[in-house]
Amino acid sequence: MRKTELQINLSNLENNLKVIKSTTSAEIQAVIKANAYGLDINEICETIENEVESFAVITVDEALNLRKKTKKPILILQGVHEIADYDKVKDFNLDFVIHSDWQLDSMPEVDLSNSRAWLKINTGMNRLGFHPEEFINRYQKLIDKNLKELILMSHLASSSEKSDPRNMEQIKLFSNLTENFDNKRSLANSGAIFNFYEAHFDIVRPGIAIYGGKYFEHGIKPVTCLRSKITMLKNIKAGDSVGYDGSWIASSDCIIAGIPIGYADGYPYSSKSAEVSINGKKFKTAGKINMDLITINLEQDSSIKIGDWVELWGFDTNLTSFSQEFNSISYQLLTNISGRVNKNYLE
């Protein structure tokens, strides 16, 4: 069997939820879109179900799959993509976002009394949601529907940047627009949970913080370790090149190790050397990251053997800093892990 795996520390995952819960008095909606940020939606649901008020996904298919695992509310974050999806919303008691007129005006006369609608207001991100001047009119249209509940929501554009003045502008606008309504309100994502208590309102919606991708200064712990076993060792002479295009040339005699993982598994493509860890020692990759193989310069360390584990990133890795080496973000590292990488869940 190909020895490449993503280890997932469920204790660290649970720690992260405890940190979030200690930071807010609001209810928690766990965002588990993109297959729980690559960690597997079913396993993560089972682990955190008792700690959250509800879940959020992007697609109807994700919601239907998740409904097999939980009776808790499930929100479709971008709402329906086709009018026919409202039938599934009804049949499976799904919550849904309304952010566009076509979603609202085309809503069929079906019984949605077991579903919550989330009316999205554009407070400055200028992506999804109704403009402030449209809010009251769309609100009036929705309260005439037979809904279980109507929740008011928006999204901050720069919540991880505490000094960005646009955050307080958005928070103030959302608060002013909705303060005279009895509806529950939701604005805060992971960044706002830690940076802007004023944005917590009734329901917060953490995503990346649950999975250990950011906010380590607040007690969040990394949840994943990506690793692969050495399957090849080769002696290389000084001046020899390694890999595609001969882009890496040995400056001295060395040992090259190979591990069966590459960009097809979700590890970022790069022609630059990246640091890896083997038996507690640090080494650098050699040559371009391949689709299915990564080569590593062991220099003259003959203690490394076939079958030793190589950590591409570990439980002590700050994924935010690590991802920046590839001009990427921690979200992308996690969600890009492919289905051919085995997942190994640790308690």
Residues 6+ apart with CB under 8 A from 146: 111, 112, 113
193, 206 in Cβ contact below 8 A? yes
Whether the Cβ atoms of residue 25 and residue 49 lie closer than 8 Å to each other: no
Closest CA to 27 of 50, 56, 53: 53
Question: What angle separates helix 41-48 from helix 60-67, to the nearest 10 degrees?
Answer: 50
Question: 40 pairs with which residues across the strands?
Answer: none
Q: List the catalytic residue out of 244, 269, 272, 281.
A: 244
Catalytic annotation on 269? no
Which position among 33, 88, 120, 214 bears the catalytic label? 33
Angle among Cα 171, 30, 201 to the nearest 5 degrees reads 30
- List of E strands, the chain: 4-9, 27-31, 54-57, 74-76, 95-98, 112-120, 147-153, 185-186, 203-204, 224-229, 232-236, 241-242, 248-249, 254-259, 275-278, 281-285, 294-297, 309-313, 342-346
The C-alpha angle with vertex 313 and arms to 311 and 319, in degrees rounded to 5, equals: 175
Catalytic status, residue 331: no
Q: Give the count of beta carbons closer than 10 Å to the beta carbon of residue 189.
A: 19
Residues 6+ apart with CB under 8 A from 253: 235, 236, 237, 238, 300
DSSP conformation letters of 194-242: HH-GGG-SSEE---TTTTTSS-GGGT----EEEEEE--EEEEE-TT-EE
Plot region of 284 (φ>0 → left; ψ -120 to 50 → alpha; else → beta): beta
Q: Name the strand (E) or helix (H) holding 253.
A: none
Length of the chain in residues, anyone?
A: 347
Residues recognised as catalytic: 33, 244
